[in-house]
Chains A and B, each alone.
Chain A
Amino acid sequence: QVTLKESGPVLVKPTETLTLTCTVSGFSLSDPAMGVSWIRQPPGKALEWLAQIFSNGDTSYNSSLKRRLTISKDASKSQVVLTMTEMDPVDTATYSCARMRVVFATRATYYYGMDVWGQGTTVTVSS
């Protein structure tokens, strides 16, 4: 059974750095067909993709948040870590990680889908 579980602080102060951990089971972070994304959803708002990391270590980031985000993985621990600096009250949201799996391929590219999601962890930014 594939599961992902987010962990991290419930409350952070403005200007602090948020560190979130996604612990996965049922698949390997070294599997070439797999990756992990972080997504957030502020209260009453839409899903917002933050960052992703692939099995080979390649990363990509939301361009509007890129300077504040770092994603990394430790395959031996089955963990993906996201850090976000300079936290602000507008960053209050539910933060989720999701497995990205290659669901389709052509000669030109791989198509990924977020097929299994963690339950999410709520982070409030307040002094």
Chain B
Amino acid sequence: DIQMTQSPASLSASVGDRVTITCRASQTIDNNLNWYQHKPGRVPTFLIYAASRLQRGVPSRFSGGGSGTDFTLTISSLQPEDFATYYCQHRGTFGPGTRVDIK
């Protein structure tokens, strides 16, 4: 089975900061990688597919990159509503999540 890891496990940042989260697959997955945002008490939001393509309605401050085994999710200017946990996903496997907190 392909395993997904994420780093860091958590980070603290301020509004306006540029934030980058890394996701790594245990073997190459081409660009078959999704990203989700999850806030407590809310349903997850589908952000990015095919590693870098923004789902409709997702703000352009979110971007994704990478291919093969290493991927990134970047928020160019963190907004108050972006404080959440972010998960990468390849097919049936989610990464362990990265929690983004307010500094």
Contacts and interface: CB of A to CB of B under 8 A. Distances in A.
Contacts of B68: none
A48 B46 contact: no
Interface in B50-100: 50, 53, 55, 87, 89, 91-97
Interface string A31-60: 000000101000000111100100000001
A63 interface: yes
Interface of B: 1, 32, 34, 36, 38, 43-44, 46, 49-50, 53, 55, 87, 89, 91-97
Contacts of A37: 92
A46 B44 contact: no
B50 A63 contact: no
Interface size class of A (residues with CB under 8 A): 20 to 34
A82 B44 CA distance: 20
Interface string A106-127: 0001011111011110000000
Interface of A: 37, 39, 46-49, 52, 60-63, 96, 98, 103-104, 109, 111-115, 117-120
Given A63-B1, A115-B55, A47 B49 contact: no
B46 A114 contact: yes
Given A52-B92, A103-B55, A104-B49, A47 B44 contact: yes
A48 B43 contact: no
B41 to A, nearest CB: 10
A62 B43 contact: no
Given A47-B87, A47-B97, A49-B92, A117 B44 contact: yes
B94 to A, nearest CB: 5
Given A47-B87, A104-B49, A111-B32, A60 B92 contact: yes
A115 B44 CA distance: 9
